[in-house]
Amino acid sequence: MSEQNLDDSRCDGAFTGPLNQETFRALLFNSFLHQQVRLRASRREGERLAAIAETRRAVADAGDLATALNLVAARALEITGSTGAAIAVNASGQMTCWATSGPTAPPLGAPLALGSGLSGECLRSRRTLRCDDAASDPRVNREACARLGGVGSMLLVPLRRGNSAIGILEVFSTRPHAFDEADEHALELLALVASAAVTDLAANDPVTRVSRSVGTAVRPVASQVSPV
């Protein structure tokens, strides 16, 4: 047998031997699993987008800001699988929670610090911020996290009016590393819905009309503060 034929024979054996056939089957199976994961992710993304579109329609029909913001907060909780969601709005230089959902959300009226922390940075930068581990993030109020039931991670998206940030939509989880890029995208879309609600329902007088609309939500709760 020539050297070339010997090499070809060895190559044939590499692809037809029992061990490599098993390896090939394993590769096919892994490829199938990855495809199923992609299909599930695509299906989930479609379901999320449909839910956000439905929330937008419900908010448009809400008629008052309290109902509109609570719809968005509840949907944010559901879509991200979080344990708490809140919407805080900045009025007259003070940002407080105007809508909440879930057991680890801060109470209505809880103040958020503007000069420091994640909330202040989110407003200043007008960017989405994610805290993967509240226990090790120096921007987080750990005592407040403990009072809310042990917040492990959080995700914040600014509410915008033009080039300004007028508030924050945030979600919390008792688990560290609970949120990913898909959650960021979904929350950013919901933040657009919340921003439009604030703008449309309080366009003429954003402080007086919004205050009347949300009622006690704008009265600060001194004993409870947001962890961000």
The tens digit of pLDDT for each residue in 89-106 reads 988 778 899 999 999 999
Residue 8 has pLDDT above 50, yes or no: no
Domain 64-218 sits in CATH at: 3.30.450.40
The whole-number average pLDDT for the span 112-137 is 88
Q: How far is CA 28 from the centre of its chain?
A: 35
Cα–Cα distance, 105 to 87 (Å, whole number): 10
For the question of whether the overall pTM of this predicted structure is more than 0.85, the answer is no
Q: Where along the chain do its domains lie?
A: 64-218
For 14-58, the pLDDT digits (tens) are: 444 455 667 757 777 777 677 766 766 677 888 888 899 999 999
Quick check: 215 pLDDT over 90? no
With contact defined as beta carbons under 8 Å apart, do 148 and 104 qualify?
Answer: yes
Instruction: Determine contact, residues 132/153, Cβ cutoff 8 Å.
Output: yes
The secondary structure of 101-144 as a DSSP string is: ESTTSPPTT-EE-SSSHHHHHHHHHT--EEES-TTT-TTS-HHH
| pLDDT given for residue 228 in this prediction | 63
